[in-house]
Amino acid sequence: MVARGAGKIVFTASMMSFRGGMMIPSYAASKGGIAQLTKALANEWAPKGVNVNAIAPGYIATDINPELRENQETNKFILDRIPAGRWGTPADLQGAAVFLASEASNYVHGVVLPVDGGWLAR
């Protein structure tokens, strides 16, 4: 992409890119690293025509987290923090992905875009 002078990189970060979390230090550290890598590469490659950004999903209902959603106490704790009042779906990430991969984001560099139902706003 750098040699070609054009391209779009969209990393997958997380809400843990912004917060430390509890009982998941390795996950939080790795997602914090993705956020900083996004910014560092954007600084280096923006002048060469390459956009580097990331999407930071919030709580997304997937096959790996049914135990969180099925536990009434945990699910309530999570939903009480999300202004949208629901878990996200994989489809909720589509708009952000299309935007960051399209020409509409040509002047967007180094952004870690939360798609979290407002979780970070609380």
Q: What CATH number corresponds to the domain at position 117?
A: 3.40.50.720
User: Exposed, middle or buried, 13 (CB in 10 Å: 0-12/13-18/19+)?
Assistant: buried
Residue 22, pLDDT score: 85
Tell me if 67 is assigned to some domain: no
Share the mean pLDDT of the chain: 97
- Answer yes or no: 27 catalytic: yes
**What is the residue range of 42's domain?**
7-58+89-121
Tell me if 73 is assigned to some domain: no
- Tens of pLDDT, residue by residue over 46-98, are 999 999 999 999 999 999 999 999 999 999 999 999 999 999 999 999 999 99
pTM above 0.75, yes or no: yes
Per the residue annotation, which of 6, 20, 25, 27 is the catalytic one?
Answer: 27
Residue 57: helix, strand or coil by DSSP? strand
